[in-house]
Every structure is written in structure tokens, then in C-alpha cells.
Amino acid sequence: MQIESVTTLEIEDLKVITFRRFVDQRGYFTEHYRKGNIDENPDTSFLKGVSFVQSNESFSRVGTIRGLHFQWNPYMGKLVRTVTGRMVDMALDIRLGSPSYGKIVLRDMPASREGATAEWIWVPPGFAHGNFFLSDTIIEYFCTGEYSAGCEAGISPLSADIDWSVCDCSMKMLFNKFVADNGVLITEKDKNALCVGAWTKDSKSKNFIYGKC
């Protein structure tokens, strides 16, 4: 895995890892993950000691929105990439006491067959995670915890009390247009999930404390 760069997003704990593809007239080859390279690179020290125990793949039709999901016992951090199509990833800080609590960050992550690089986004425990899709899209994500049905919750991506103040303005505009244009393919569970205020009042929110998860 040849790491080209590591970018810190608007909330410091969210990272984008750009890795190289080897491109020629036939197409490309890439190592999209190698633990040794992650462990040895000082720019990816935030992943040192992190163990991935589950790998997921999903296909979403254009107009779909998923999330914002999170779990505890065990916590689940996610390393996410777009395989085909165009995903916009969403991460909302739910760590009580965090200076960015309730704030959301979006990252546009279109896939390209021709590009010389591709990207992972790291969404650590303490963030509610989701995505929306501007074309038919396949994504892959590695997880630091196995799925635990009894220890999960969600915040609706349509909640009016999400704080967009640190999100890139163009991403907020893209989200607004996406919602207005598509009417949104979303499950009732995700649509009717908690708002930020309701989650804050929920006793289970104490599972996520800034600096401890």
C-alpha cells in the first residue's frame, strides 16, 4: 500500500488516506490496504494498534441516503472507500464534551477507473456515520467492532438540529440539493431516528465521552 497523503478534515479526528494506484494501458493495480504500511507511516499513527474484525460491502441506488449510525459495546470505527459510483460520506460528532459535538462533516468520494489515486475515510468511534449516493454505488468498509444489534442507535440525517457550521458550504449545498431533487430513498428507521437533542438527553449517550471512546 503506497500512501500518498493523509488529510485532516474539519473535525480533527476524521482523516482521509489517499493511496496510489499503478496505472497503465491495461487498467490499474493497487494495494488498497496493508497493515504494515499503516503501522510504519507516522501520518497514520491514529490507526496504529487498531484491529479490523469485520469487512462489509454495500450497494446503494442513486438517491439513497443511509445513516447516521453508531454502536457501542463494542465500539465500531470504520475505514470506508468507494469502489464504484459516487458516495458522499457523512460523520457527526456524538462525543459528549467534544468542542465539535453535534457538528457534521461531509466528504465527496467519487470512484474513478482512470485515477492514479483513491481514498479511504477514517470515521472513529464517537461519530455517527452515514452516506448518500449520487449514482449507483458500491462501497466497502472495514470495522473495528463486530455488529452488535442490541447496542446500536441512530440520528436522522434529516434532523433540523444538526450543526453544519464546520461543514464545507459546497457540501451543505450538495446535500440540500440531493434531498430536494430525490425525495430520498431512506428507511423509516433512519428517517425517524433521533435528533441530536433527543440523543443528548438519552442516558445511552454517556457511552460516548470525549477522550474516552
Please confirm, yes or no, whether 101 is among the known catalytic residues.
no
Q: Is the pLDDT of residue 46 over 70?
A: yes
Q: Give yes or no for a contact between 121 and 7, defined as CB atoms under 8 angstroms apart.
A: no
pTM for this one? 0.95
Q: Could you tell me what percent of the chain has a pLDDT over 90?
A: 93
Q: Given the residues 33, 141, 147, 210, select the one marked as catalytic.
A: 141
Q: Given the residues 28, 69, 75, 101, select the one marked as catalytic.
A: 69
pLDDT at site 186: 95
Q: Return left, alpha or beta for 130; rule: phi > 0 is left, psi -120 to 50 is alpha, else beta.
A: beta
* 172-189 per-position pLDDT tens digit: 999 999 999 867 889 999
Please confirm, yes or no, whether 129 is among the known catalytic residues.
no
Over range 183-211, report the average pLDDT: 95
pLDDT at site 59: 98
- Torsion angles phi and psi, residue 191, rounded to 5: -60, -40
pLDDT at site 181: 82
Secondary structure (3-state) at 200: helix
Query: Top-level CATH class of 3-207?
Result: mainly beta
Q: How is residue 163 annotated by DSSP?
A: B
Extract the runs of DSSP E, i.e. beta strands, from 1-157. 3-8, 15-20, 22-24, 27-29, 54-60, 65-71, 78-84, 86-93, 104-110, 117-123, 127-133, 137-143, 152-154
* 116-164 per-position pLDDT tens digit: 999 999 999 999 999 999 999 999 999 999 999 899 999 999 999 999 9
pLDDT at site 182: 66
**Residues 66-98 as b or e (16 or more Cβ within 10 Å = b):** bbbbbbbeebbbbbbbbeebbbbbbbbbbbbeb
Please report, for the chain, the start and end positions of each structural domain, with discontinuous segments joined by +.
3-207
